[in-house]
Amino acid sequence: MIHKWMLQIFRRRVLLAILILIQFGIFAVLVNQSIAYSIVLKTIFTFLSIGIALHVVWKKGKEAYKITWILQVLIFPVYGALFYLMFNRQTKTRKLQNKLEKVYHLHQSYLHNDQSVFVQATMQYPEHGAQMYYLQETMGFPVYNQTEVKYYPLGEEYYQAILEELVKAEDYIFFEFFIVSEGKMWTEIKEILIKKAALGLDVRVMYDDIGSFITIPKNTKKQLMEKGIDCRIYNPFHPVLTSSQNNRDHRKVLSIDGKVAFTGGINIADEYINEIERFGHWKDTGIKMKGPAAWRQTLIFLELWQTMDENLLESEMNLLLPTFKTTGQPKKTGYVQPFADSPTDTQNVGEQVFVKMIYKAEKSVFINTPYLILDENLETALILAAQSGVKVKIVLPKIWDKYLVHMTSRSYYRDLINAGVEIYEYTKGFMHAKSIIVDMEVAVIGTINFDYRSLYLHFENAVALYGVPAIKDMIEDFDQTILESERIKVEDLSQSLIARFAKRILRLFAPLM
């Protein structure tokens, strides 16, 4: 039986798709008619295309993006030029960045930035000191100690831990996910959130509109607000051709009282806990942080939340600030550095961290990722590491969720394998985990995929771990995953000239995937 909310979602999706197609149709008719009846306009568009191509070459930016836009402009002179102008008008993005700057400024005095911890961490892990400095001093993400980290190798275990911690909440619960979907997972979590809100806790829920566009009813926000839960939908989708719709909130953050925080690749949907089957067994991972680093994760949640506030109040920050008790001898928990990435600024934080880690590797680089669509920086780093004797292993899904994206990922296999990179595909189902482990002692886990969307277009978050005991669990899980995966060899890849040519063409348009 089809639920009423499913019919509502279907109608909404179809209606918006029709509206967008109508816009495309009107746009195409107007352009074609204008060119057909006016030599002057045709000449203008030709010179406009040449000017845009030169502009793309001249301006700063990723070479891969430049090549993609230049190809579109030159192959489709009129439409390519107009779409470039349309999708590079970043007025809304600039406004958002201005709001984020105000939020960053407000958060500065609440970071709990202990310089002595940074000094200790860089002394203990000098080879990664530059990365710690970049994240802390340049980007504002301090290094923390005295934070216990628990690793969860499956969504089912992660979910149970979330339920256990939610019922312990005393002051507030901050919830931010890319996808929220009707089902067992959301029903049980929502029930706890409603109960906690009824007890007077500050409960806030935020989800991305595109991520949750076809998975929950349109009136979910209204229903939550009626239950005392403050709910916000990030970047509501409108059937208007605009570049800002590309910038999605791909973060996964759950903060409880600012003392406990969760993150990883897992969304709030039943396939993530294998309650339902999509693309075989769903392999995903996450972590729980307990201690000062959880507070920094809370601030990451507040970044986007507070861009939707009319006023930024220090009094609110003071109320949210947790107190951490230090008793006895400090625990050897290693060092934890939560960080986030934004598409509105000029810093590609996620990529910078990945590149730095790979270049510093001396023994091994282990990567889990659902997608492998690399720019020249990451591809060069991986190839150079493998050619320098570093054992580089990458696990991707055998069963794909997006055919073109999977084929584009596979287009990188040959060059990487020839350089000595070991590539595996998870045979049991879909690999959705996002992590990198270097030399068995430093790791990053979070929401960042090895693709253009995560690295340049989405809001993302992750956690860098240095000498954290949980890294041992991550390595054991990676080794087990390898046993459940098929190693890909060059001879396994298609030798067809047409297939190889098609994959190379896909590579040219990879930045748009």
Which residues carry out catalysis? 250, 252, 257, 432, 434, 439
Buried-state track 491-500, b at ≥16 Cβ within 10 A, e below 16: eebeeeeeee
Q: What single-letter DSSP state applies at residue 283? A: E
Interhelix angle 39-58/4-37, nearest 10 degrees: 110
Residue type (1 letter), 16: L
User: What is the spatial distance between Cα 146 and Cα 448, in angstroms, rounded to a whole number?
Assistant: 25
Residue 329 phi/psi, 5-degree rounding, is -75, 135
The CA distance from 475 to 472, in Å, is 5
Token pair 């690999």 in the structure block, residue: 431
The CB-side HSE value for 54 (13 A sphere, CA atoms) comes to 6
CB proximity list for 506: less than 8 A, separation 6 or greater: 404, 407, 408, 411
Rg (CA), the chain: 24
CA 370/CA 398 separation, integer angstroms: 10
Joined together, the tokens standing for residue 236 give 């509501």
Element (H, E) at 353: helix 349-360
C-alpha to C-alpha distances, 390 to 124, 258, 331, 394, 443, nearest whole angstrom: 22, 39, 32, 13, 16
351 membership: H or E segment, kind and range: helix 349-360
> How distant is the alpha carbon of residue 506 from its chain centre?
22
- How far apart (Å, rounded) are the C-alpha atoms in residues 482 and 422? 11
What six digits make up the tokens of 307? 């861009």
Nearest CA-CA partner of 61 in 355, 356, 341, 375: 375
Decide: residue 47, CB within 10 A, 0-12 exposed, 13-18 middle, 19+ buried. Answer: exposed
Whether residue 377 contacts residue 370, with contact meaning beta carbons closer than 8 Å, is answered with no
Q: Are 381 and 420 in contact (CB under 8 A)?
A: no
Contact (Cβ atoms closer than 8 angstroms) between residue 201 and residue 228: no
Per DSSP bridges, beta strands 286-290 and 253-256 are unpaired
Is residue 341 within 8 A of residue 350, CB to CB? The reply is: yes
**Neighbouring C-beta atoms of residue 347, cutoff 10 Å:** 12
How many angstroms separate the CA atoms of 432 and 171, rounded?
32
- In sequence order, which residues have a C-beta less than 8 Å from that of residue 310 and are 6 or more positions away? none
Tokens of 149: 């980290």
